[in-house]
Every structure is written in structure tokens, then in C-alpha cells.
Amino acid sequence: TQKMIDQAKAVMRKNDRGNYTVPTHGLYPFQWNWDSALSALGFAHFDEPRAWTEIETLFAHQWDDGMVPHIIFHQQDEGYFPGPDVWGTSRPVPTSGITQPAVAGFAVRRIFERATNKTLAVEKARALLPRIHAWHQWFFANRDPQGSGLVAIIHPWESGRDNSVDWDAAFERVPTDGVQPFTRRDTSHANPAHRPTDDQYKRYIWLVQKFRSLGWDNTKLHDASPFQIVDPGFNAILIRSCADLAVLADSLGDTEIAAQSRAMAEKGIAAMDSLWSEAHGQYLCYDRSISASVDSPSIGGILAAFAPIPKSRAKAIADRIDALSLSCNYLVPSHDPTAPEFDALRYWRGPIWLIVNYMISDGLKLAGETAMADRISADCLRLIEKAGFAEYYGPIGAEPCGGDAFTWTAAMVIEILS
Ligand code: DGY
């Protein structure tokens, strides 16, 4: 156990750039939004000031409208595409123009409550509280213009689940005309068979060019995007962070942020039930641009257990995961292994991600589904023992996939073992 923790710490130190971490050398040479928030949880176990710095650095690059961008390009690096010149967001320190799962609210509450240095924790959490709240408000103002209680992503990269089967049908409606020729860099760092396809990359870039042509004005982007998906996993993270921020705000005596956060969480939880599929025993995505459910049994609808959903739903999700375990050797695959689109080693079309496992396990534990929660955590450790600190893993053969020496994978191991 101690040996594994020490190895995980070494991975985190290796990717530490002083006031932020890179997800891994080479493939992802900048700061990523949800990577940082989740990695801070790992730091918090052995270096609390460093954990706070990670999140502080992220929020130092928040936009004036409240958005927290998905990448911060702290330094130049030709090894990544698309770089700052493609995004063209005109920020003093360049950033991308889209966001990522809002996990910071959850992470900050957890780091705050566990902190041994309470004075530091109060100071840091007090400063972050209004910033995180502004981001949550930004989501509902800009990504839920009809006030449904659930937000849409407008680019697959926002979900973090870049090439999920969930987006396939919607992506058919994203054009590729007018996309400038480009050279991918990711495929020179990682096995191309583990990564999204060239066709998907063209569509990713078409969306970036479209949003750039609108001046990255978030009051326009949602309605102008041909890609608007309500992802249960993404919403669950936002809802959980709103609920956690409410508790944090109470601890810090900010009753207004507490009340507003609680209201957003409650509305979201109620709305989430419209995404439940009795046939699949899990939640499904909803394609807002065509007003239709997406019939795709991915991990997005299982990650929904991270939110404080009704206990009956959490139980059904635990049963669903148990059913998935009949067709793989490790939990939890990012797509149903019995579905025709399942691809064991290709990024989000089958492989296991430890951060997702951690969030599902945490939600199930809170809902009282402790047996499944523990089983998922145990599988995480079996994967590390077999394949090291990879970016993601094959759910049948435990193959290490994508980048290696991965920061958030290491952080999750420290979380599980500490
Ligand atoms: C990538 O470059 O693969 C990232 O997932 C985009 O954020």
C-alpha cells in the first residue's frame, strides 16, 4: 500500500509545474480544468498548500463572464493541437474557449473538510467560494437558456468524454466544410488506435472555428451550436458541486451563496429524472437540438450516481454495474461491452477511467450502496497493480492505454488508499 502511494506521489511530483500540474508530459503539456480539481484531492493528502495552489491557479484564469476554461496554455508547446492560435480567445494568458465538468466545487469542499491547516483552508475556501459560485451561475445562465434545470455541452471536449458513442448521431449533423488543414499531435504521443478518429477531429475543429467566428460570446454560442447535448454525467458533477458548495458556504457563513447553490442543485436533481431510461436501467443523454433521447448505454448515465439522486435510482445503477460486470473483467467500462459500438481500447468507447470510477463509487457510497462502491475501488487498485498509472485501461485485459504516468490516475490512487 505505502509503495503504491509513494509511486503515485512520484507521478504527481513529476507532472508538477510549480503552481499547476500537467495531466501527463507530452500528450497534455498544459493545465486542464477537471484534471486539476481532481488532482488537488491527491495533493491534499501530502501537501495541503500545493492542493490549494492547484485550484487557485485554475480560477485565476476564469473569464469575466464566469466561465472557467478547459485548458490554460501557461507556456508554449508545439507538441499539442489545437493550440492557442487555433482557439484565438485573446486572453492575456491564452486559454481554450470552452469549459469542462464542474468538479471544483466538490473538490474544494472535500479538501476544506479534511484540512489539517484550518486557517489556511478557511482563507483559501473563502476566496474560491464566490468564484466557483459564479461559474455555476454561468452554466445555468448560458447553457440552460430555457431554465430547464439541466445544462447542455456544446462541444464533446466539454464533457471530457471526447469520443463517446453518445455523440455519434449528433456528430453526423456537425459539418466539416471550411475546416483548415491541420496536423494532429496527440497521435504522435499515444497509440492512434486508442484515440479519436481523424473524422471526429475535423468536427471538433469545425465547432472551435464556429465559436471563434462568434467571438467566443457565450450569450450566443449555445443557440448557435449544432451540437447541444444534455449529458447526465456532466450534469451530475455540476449538481453535486452545487450541493457541496451550499454546504461549504454554510460553513463559511455565506447564506446567500448557500441558498442559491441549494436551489440550483434541487432543481437539477428533479430535472435529471427526465433522463432516466427504464429499459437500460440507467440515465441517458438528451439531444437538445433535435429534442430526443440518445439511445446509447454509456458511462455518462452511470456517472450520474455522483449526484444526490434518489436512493432507488442509485440502487438501480449499482444493479446495472453488476450486470455490466458479466461482460468484462474490470469495472466500470465507459461503454456497455455488449453494445456493437464498444471498443475496448479506444478512449471513451470502452476503456475504464479511474476518475470516473472514483466519482461513481463516492456517489454510491453516499447512497448506501457500499458493496458496489468498494468493488469499484478494489478494481481500480487491481488495474494499477497490473498496468501502472495509465490514462485509461482496457476493461477486459487491463491494458494500459493513452498517456502514461498520469496525474489524476495517481491522485485517485492516493484518495482510495489514504
Ligand atoms: C484532448 O486534446 O484530447 C483533450 O481531451 C481535449 O481537451
Place of cell 483552508: 121
Q: Which residues pair with 298 in a beta bridge?
A: 335
E strands, 271-350, are 276-277, 282-283, 286-287, 292-293
Model pLDDT for residues 23-73, shown as the tens digit of each residue? 999 999 999 999 999 999 999 999 999 999 999 999 999 999 999 999 999
What is the set of active-site residues?
162, 391
* 383 domain residue, yes or no: no
Give the model's pLDDT for residue 96.
98
For the chain, count helices (H), then strands (E). 18, 9
Give the model's pLDDT for residue 114.
98
Q: What ipTM did this prediction achieve?
A: 0.93
Q: For ligand 1, what atom is nearest to the CA of residue 82?
A: 2
Model pLDDT for residues 106-137, shown as the tens digit of each residue? 999 999 999 999 999 999 999 999 999 999 99
Q: Which of 188, 232, 227, 151 is nearest to 77 (CA)?
A: 188
Interval between CA 385 and ligand 1 midpoint (Å): 26
Ligand 1 atom 4: residue of nearest CA? 157
Phi, psi of 28, rounded to the nearest 5 degrees:
-130, 85
- Mean pLDDT over each residue of the chain, to the nearest integer: 98
Which residues, other chains included, contact 118 with Cβ-Cβ below 8 Å and sequence gap of 6+? none
Give the model's pLDDT for residue 300.
98
* DSSP 3-state of 8: helix
* 344 domain residue, yes or no: no
Give the model's pLDDT for residue 165.
98
Give the model's pLDDT for residue 212.
98
Interval between CA 24 and ligand 1 midpoint (Å): 12
Give the model's pLDDT for residue 343.
98
* 111 domain residue, yes or no: yes
Q: Measured from the CB, is residue 158 less than 6 Å from ligand 1?
A: no
Give the model's pLDDT for residue 10.
98
* 395 domain residue, yes or no: no
Q: How many residues does the chain have?
A: 418
C-alpha neighbours within 13 Å on the C-beta side of residue 408: 24
> DSSP letter string over 350-418?
S-B-HHHHHHHHHHHHHTT-HHHHHHHHHHHHHHHHHH-S-SEE-TTT--EESSSS-HHHHHHHHHHH-
* 100 domain residue, yes or no: yes
Q: Measured from the CB, is residue 186 less than 6 Å from ligand 1?
A: yes
Domain that holds residue 255: 2-307
Q: What is the mean pLDDT of residues 227-256?
A: 98
In single-letter form, the type of residue at position 246 comes to A
Distance from C-alpha of 249 to C-alpha of 371, rounded to nearest angstrom? 32
Q: Measured from the CB, is residue 162 less than 6 Å from ligand 1?
A: yes
Domain CATH number, residue 182: 1.50.10.10
* 26 domain residue, yes or no: yes
Give the model's pLDDT for residue 3.
97
Model pLDDT for residues 378-413, shown as the tens digit of each residue? 999 999 999 999 999 999 999 999 999 999 999 999
Q: For ligand 1, what atom is nearest to the CA of residue 80?
A: 2
Q: Measured from the CB, is residue 54 less than 6 Å from ligand 1?
A: no
Domains contained in the chain, number:
1
Place of cell 509511486: 7
Which residues, other chains included, contact 373 with Cβ-Cβ below 8 Å and sequence gap of 6+? 360, 361, 362, 364, 365
The preferred substitution site among 31, 36, 157 for testing ligand 1, maximizing ligand atoms within 8 Å of CB, is 157
Tell me the pTM.
0.98
> DSSP letter string over 101-154?
---HHHHHHHHHHH-S-HHHHHHHHHHHHHHHHHHHHHHHHHH-TT--S---BS
Q: Measured from the CB, is residue 73 less than 6 Å from ligand 1?
A: no
Give the model's pLDDT for residue 330.
98
* 72 domain residue, yes or no: yes
* 81 domain residue, yes or no: yes
Q: Which residues pair with 293 in a beta bridge?
A: 286
Model pLDDT for residues 316-339, shown as the tens digit of each residue? 999 999 999 999 999 999 999 999
